[in-house]
Structure 1
Amino acid sequence: MKKRWSTMLTLMLAIMLVAAGCSGGNSGGNSGNGGNDGNSGGQGSEGGSKAGKTEFLFWSPFSGADGPFMKQIVDRYNASQDQYSVKFVIQPSGEYYKQLDVALSAAKDRPDLVIMHLDQIPTYQNKGQLQAIDDIAANAGLSKSDYVEAAIDYATIDGKWYGIPLDIHPLVMYYNKDLFDKAGITAPPTNREEFEAAAQQLTDQAAGVYGYVVPTLWPQQFIFPTLVWQNGGELWNGSDVAYNSPEAVEMVEWMRGLIDKGISPANVQQDGENTLFLQGKNAIQFNGPWMKSQYDEAGLNYGVAPVPQIGKAKQAVYGGSHNFAIPQGVTDENVLAGIGDFLKYVSSNSLDWAESGQALAAKPMLESEEFKALPQSTIAESFSYVQFAPNVLNWPTISEPIWGELNNALLGKKPAQQAMDDAAAKSKQAIE
């Protein structure tokens, strides 16, 4: 009997020791993020500790092919020093802002650092959910002059700075070098005349090859604004939507004209232009820097160049930007110092992000020989004339009607003017 009690006591002590060991770690479930520990809960602004380090939670929407590139930056930072630990969590990109809204309203699970698209910053700042980063940046040895001016200007509201840009991702032109060589075209087009001539020359309908396939859906969110600005138009005139202007309508008619001429097939569905590009049947593709890894993996012989000036007024290109932003409720001084240290590291150690196809926003990286050696370094040529979405609260919601109506125009369901008038009318309802 004593022997049995002794055995039971030994087993109970063993179980207690195992339980104590488990309780010392994080218990959150895996969010599919590939982060340091898979925990999607985190300590929020209360801070945390990991082997004596100050830990903070970093959220991003990089759920595509770009995720591993950011993870590599985080892993290298964590290994580079022993004071801070970044817990990296990737949320599904399609649900990112919904998840963020929930988290920001619940302090317990709030991230300490987030990636935020530049055009979202005014809205979140207006809701009181972001804090100015001027002091945090200054304490880390960062200044506005370290980054591309256009993004800094946009993220500066009422004299305070709310976003540190990671990249600038403007619309770019990809072209199939093999098709260009076959057609005897020696350089990518730079203006409308050259573009139309090249697209016509590259088209071989008998072989099912097109010079430029007009997308009717995404990425028109980048293409349409680019063309409107190039043609002297605006999306917002300072007090109202303006994408039903003659300048904007002309560009919609120009795109539809490429279809009518047979340079592009009709009724292109979502990603149809990209599928044809991957198949070697679409010679020119307007898309974002994020496509690079997909084209590399496909083994395409492609080139990258700035988007030609198609409009009649000026060179311009629509761009986006991923920014680092800090939620309002993050107050722990150690966590804030850790965030500043991490952002300082990224400003001069983000070449991994450039490998994903992005053009970096930190000038030390843009000016480095390593970045200049990358094919997408030509993207930076457009930074002097890049434009972002109108700095208007709730712009994504206001502008949403554009894309359905533009689709109607490009599919030939509505005349261009009617489609853009209908889009403007729906947007005005959203404003009201």
Structure 2
Amino acid sequence: MKKFLSLLLGALLAVVCFVGCGDMEFDDDIYDDSATPEELGANPNAPEITLAHWDSSGSLEGAVLNTVLKQFYATHPDGQKIRVKVEIMGMYEQTMPTILASGDEDKPEIIMMPDGSFNSWMAQYASQFENLDPYIQKSGFDETKLWDGAVSRYKYKYENHSHVFGNGSVYALPKDVSPNVMFYNKDFFFEKQVEIPKNTDGSIKRMTIDEGVEMWRKLIVGEENKNALERRYALGNMPPESMVWSAGSDFLNESRTGFITDSRQIAGFKKAYQKMVDLVDEKIVPDGTSMSGSSTSSLFLTGKVACYIGGIYDTAQLRNSSFDWDITYIPAFEDNLNVNGYSGSVGYSMWSGTDSSLKDLAYSVIEYISSEEAQRIMTEMGFNIPLQKSIAGDTAFIDAQRAKKPYNYEVFLESLRYQPSGTWRYTRNNVWKERLSTEAAKLFQRSGYTVDDFVAALPGIVNGSL
């Protein structure tokens, strides 16, 4: 594993970080995801805390954190006062609630907080998380320097017998924020003589969904083959948010108490889901069963799809691929062309039961991961878009990313300006969304089940789940 990670990450990191990182240097020994704090330069006599993290990208998650922690130990004023043990957990979003609900008094001091779990975890286990406001005020951390919404998605308060999300105190600081974009295989595009459209000034053009369909039709290979595994689809996936939001609609009403009732929004919702049905019917996108068990990024890497919708977190593995690729904006409806997807994030919280003598040190680690220095490290590895807007506007920074791919790096940054957090932030749990998705699957599985049938069923399904 260590050899594999060295090869993968070695291809991603320069010996010296790009402009702005000064004398920050990286060594091969950090690529071991199981490296101990001492091997990374921690003071062996310092007290140890645990940082719990998920395994969504396998061992790469631990390797990325070890890279950041190595620099923390070397440069931060508190670096030699604490040791951080990274604990990668499988099935994290199921495992962590069990830990939080337990009476165990030995919980991880730093807890990775997915923004998709924040509402649910705060509604159930708010007492388990430390309010970070006093630490932020003491350190002078300035959230206005970060992308809009990067910190607010981790704010919470309980007021008038109600849970309020997105306002109140800060309970986590972000590690990253990633928008969705369309990755495309440039070799396949060249093969079919298809080009990504550009504006007159040479910048990447935002395509309408109709322009996207026209482009995707040219990229299908083997559509007459009855064996789906021997076809090449044009697009691996189309997130419902991309279609629904850009059609000027939504999934819930403004108060988040039920399914939409506004006639214009319902018309937009129907238009969005009909387009998703059409994409499958035209074999532009595979249905939910023909490629089951394979992630869209895997389908892209193995040449089964020419394009797919994904985030910055996929860049690390793609930079090591055998074919040429790039990114562009997700084609969307003209009603709301810029809001063509959602942004996702994970942050770090502090367990409220952390020993009082270690709380300031634990916060130092949390804040450091959001710092410009740490963000530059993770960006260099292809794992992050920097949280700081000032770095993202740095021409030298963008040029450095283009050199490593994607060349159209500005598409990440411009997408992030407009894409809100996902629908998981609407309510304290996602039961309504899971049931909506289950019902939506019938559009592709049941002959004769129409979008009108689907929409007619949703008030009872969604409202009964809220």
Residue matched to 1:181: 190
1:182 to partner: Cα distance: 2.4
Partner of 1:224: 240
Question: CA 1:239–1:342 in 2, change beyond 3 Å: closer, same or farther?
Answer: closer
The Cα shift of 1:150 comes to 1.6
Pairing partner for 1:389 from 400, 415, 422: 422
Aligned to 1:84: 82
1:184-208: CA deviations, max 9, x gaps?
Answer: 2332562223212211222233696
Q: Which has the higher helix share?
A: 1
Shift, 1:367, TM fit? 4.4
Structure 1 stretch 277-286 or stretch 142-151: which is displaced more? 277-286
What SS class does the counterpart of residue 298 from structure 1 fall into? Answer: coil
Aligned counterpart in structure 1 of residue 48 of structure 2, from 39, 42, 55: 55
Which amino acid letter does the alignment assign opposite residue 217 of structure 2?
A: Q
- Structure 1 segment 233-272 matched on structure 2, within 5 A: 233-237=249-253, 238-242=255-259, 245-266=266-287, 267-270=289-292, 271=294
- Once the 2 structures are TM-superposed, how far is the Cα of residue 340 of structure 1 from its aligned partner? 2.3
Does the 8 Å CA contact 1:210/1:264 hold for their aligned counterparts? no
Q: Is the CA contact 1:104–1:110 (under 8 Å) kept in the aligned structure 2? A: no
User: Which of 178, 181, 197 is equivalent to 1:172?
Assistant: 181
What's the counterpart of residue 384 of structure 2? 358
Q: Which amino acid aligns with 1:323?
A: G
1:287 aligned residue (285, 310, 316): 310
Percent sequence identity is 16
* 1:430 aligns to 2:447 (yes or no): no
Cα distance in structure 2, aligned partners of 1:95 and 1:324 = 14
1:408 to 425, 430, 442: 442
Q: Which runs of 5+ in 1 are unaligned?
A: 1-31, 39-48
Deviations for 1:14-55, whole angstroms, at most 9, x for unmatched residues? xxxxxxxxxxxxxxxxxx9725369xxxxxxxxxx9644243
Paired residues of 1:255 and 1:410 also in contact (CA < 8 A): no
In 1, Cα distance between equivalents of 2:113 and 2:67: 19
The 8 Å contact of residues 375 and 384 in structure 2, kept in 1 or not, is answered as no
Work out the CA distance in 2 between the residues paired with 1:153 and 1:385.
Answer: 15
Query: TM-score, normalised to structure 2's length?
Result: 0.73
* Displacement of 1:70: 2.0
The separation in 1 between residues aligned to 2:458 and 2:377, in whole angstroms, is 40
Q: Work out whether 1:378 is the aligned partner of 2:395.
A: no
CA distance in 2, matches of 1:241, 1:35: 48
Rg larger in 1 or in 2?
1
Summarize deviations over 1:275-298 as a string: whole Å, max 9, x none: 542233422211232222333333
TM superposition shift of 1:333? 4.2
Q: Distance in 2 between matches of 1:72 and 1:339?
A: 18
SS at match of 1:284: strand
Report the AA paired with residue 454 of structure 2.
A
- Indicate conservation of the 8 Å contact 2:233/2:283, yes or no: no
Count of residue pairs brought into register by the alignment:
383
Are residue 297 (structure 1) and residue 297 (structure 2) matched? no
Distance between the aligned counterparts of 1:406 and 1:360, measured in 2?
35
- 1:173 to partner: Cα distance: 0.4
Aligned partner (choices 61, 64, 71) of residue 57 of structure 2: 64
Q: Deviations over 1:134-170 (max 9, x none)?
A: 2212323312113211222332334322221121122
1:341 Cα deviation from its structure 2 partner? 4.8
Q: Is the 1:259–1:265 contact (alpha carbons within 8 Å) kept by the matching residues of 2?
A: yes
Aligned to 1:130: 129
**Match of residue 8 from structure 2:** none
Task: Output the CA distance in 2 between the equivalents of 1:273 and 1:63.
Answer: 14
Q: Is the 8 A contact 1:405 1:420 kept in 2?
A: no
Closer/same/farther in 2, CA of residues 418 and 330 from structure 1, 3 Å limit = farther
How far off is 1:176 after superposition? 0.9
Residue 203 and residue 301 in structure 1: after superposition, are their counterparts in 2 closer, same or farther (change >3 A)? Answer: same
Task: Go from structure 1 to structure 2 and tell me whether the alpha carbon gap of 1:225 and 1:392 turns closer, same or farther (over 3 Å shift).
Answer: same
| Alignment partner, residue 73 of structure 1 | 68
**1:346 Cα shift?**
4.3
Task: Provide Cα deviations, 1:264-314, integer angstroms capped at 9, x if missing partner.
Answer: 455433337545422334222112322223333332311112322235334
Please provide the CA RMSD for this pair.
Answer: 3.1
Q: In 1, are the aligned partners of 2:233 and 2:285 still within 8 Å (CA)?
A: yes
Match of 1:203 among 203, 207, 220: 220
Question: Structure 2: how far apart are the matches of 1:295 and 1:341?
Answer: 29
Deviation at 1:83, TM superposition (A): 1.6
In structure 2, distance between residues paired with 1:386 and 1:177: 25
Compute the TM-score of the two structures, normalised by the length of structure 1.
Answer: 0.78
Change (3 A) 1:76 1:250: same
Gaps of 5+ in 2: 1-31, 158-167, 198-205
CA distance in 2, matches of 1:323, 1:251: 31
CA distance in 2, matches of 1:275, 1:87: 31
CA contact under 8 A between 2:247 and 2:272: conserved in structure 1?
A: yes
1:292 is paired with a residue whose SS is: helix
Q: Secondary structure at the match of 1:116?
A: strand
Quick one: which amino acid aligns to residue 318 of structure 1? Y
Instruction: Give the conservation status (yes or no) of the 8 Å contact 1:401–1:423.
Output: no
Q: Is the 8 A contact 2:187 2:323 kept in 1?
A: no
Is the alpha carbon distance of 1:323 and 1:305 closer, same or farther for their aligned partners in structure 2, counting shifts above 3 Å?
same
Offset, 1:211: 5.6
Shift of 1:91: 0.8
1:362-382 CA distance string (max 9 Å, x none): 335534544652235531211
Change (3 A) 1:328 1:104: farther
